[in-house]
Amino acid sequence: MIGLIYFVVIVLANTVGAISGMGGGVLIKPILDLIGAHSVAGISFYSTVAVFTMSIVSTVRQVSSGKSLNWQIVGWVSGGAVVGGIAGNIVFEIFLRLFENEKHVQLIQIFLTVLTLVFAFFYTKHHQPKFHLTSWIWYLICGGILGFLASFLGIGGGPINVSLLMLMFALPIKEATLYSLSTIFFSQLAKLVTIA
């Protein structure tokens, strides 16, 4: 029965995410946490698999629709996302061992998720200044930050990714969304590899 509930949650979250253009990953983990049928590590795994699958479908759809990408940006941001994804999962595992009650880890995740989503909301709503960074090192750092957050929080992080990409590189929202997908794909892949 719980498998069916998770399936419905994931399908609905991804549908809402697809309609909004930001992905459903940021909804899946909090809803699964609310249901509370599994441990924090179990929920993180289910959320990661769902987000990873969603990122594959979204990436294939975007590339097949003829959207052009700067593959140099994709490469550096994705490389950073892999490193950040591994680091995020390592920190997640350390926190699970550090705190006797895994609810403390869950509270840290909730706090960081809310904090980053508030940043994303205010940045995109109020059109704050952009930095116009162009060096490969900034792409790598951006990917690392986003990969870490996505892996540690167990979410795709679409709104967070898009906001930071827009802030650092002055990208239009649609282009930032494309690069966000590659970040999500590689950070979740890195997390799944480190879990296995």
If you average pLDDT over residues 9-25, what whole number do you get? 79
Q: What is the pLDDT of residues 78-99, one digit of tens each?
A: 999 999 999 999 999 999 999 9
Q: Using DSSP, how many helices (H) and how many strands (E) does the chain show?
A: 8, 0
Q: Residue 82: what pLDDT?
A: 94
The 8-class DSSP code of residue 65 comes to: T
- What is the count of structural domains for the chain? 1
Report the alpha-carbon distance of residue 157 to residue 184 in Å, rounded.
Answer: 7
For residue 57, give its domain range. Answer: 2-195
- Say how far apart CA 178 and CA 123 lie, in whole Å: 18
The reported pLDDT for the residue numbered 22 is: 63
Contact 44, 29 (CB under 8 A): yes
Contact 25, 47 (CB under 8 A): yes
| Nearest CA-CA partner of 193 in 160, 144, 151 | 151
Looking at the whole model, is its pTM more than 0.85?
Answer: yes
Higher pLDDT, 152 or 129: 152
Q: Is 3 exposed, middle or buried (0-12, 13-18, 19+ CB in 10 A)?
A: exposed
pLDDT tens digits, one per residue of 147-175: 999 999 988 888 889 899 999 999 988 88
